[in-house]
Amino acid sequence: MGKVFIQIILLIFSAAGVFCSLNYLHGRYSLIGMFAAGLFAGIFLMNLKLNVKNDKLNSYKRELERESISSSESDAKVKVLESKIEVLEKALENALKK
């Protein structure tokens, strides 16, 4: 969350740079200032969007890992139960034969 906050602050500063360049600079310098401020605003905005997307992607990957771990645990439990059932069936057959 700290990264996002810093990027939003930088985006606000770059937007403020556009307004300052409009008010205080004249001619070519105004255009250069607006271009630079817009460029920085675009970079910070896209960086913010990519970070949010990467955070969502990482959380989705962690969720998939948890699901795969839980499914492998349940598969192991099923195998253990099946082997116990087999042992009990053999014991029952042996007891019935006696």
Q: pLDDT tens, 67-81?
A: 887 777 777 888 888
Q: Give CA–CA dist 27/37, Å, rounded.
A: 16
Average pLDDT over residues 1-28: 69
Rounded to 5 degrees, what are φ and ψ at 27?
Answer: 70, -135
- Is the confidence at residue 88, as pLDDT, over 70? yes
Listed by start position, the domains of the chain span 2-69
Inter-CA distances, 41 with 35, 36, 45, 58, 66, Å: 10, 8, 6, 26, 38
Residue 85 has a pLDDT of 92
Is 80 exceeded by the pLDDT of residue 47?
yes
Cα dihedral 72, 74, 77, 83 sign: negative
User: 90 pLDDT band (50/70/90 cuts)?
Assistant: very high
Of 67 and 15, the one with more pLDDT: 67
Query: Do 11 and 45 touch, CB atoms closer than 8 A?
Result: yes
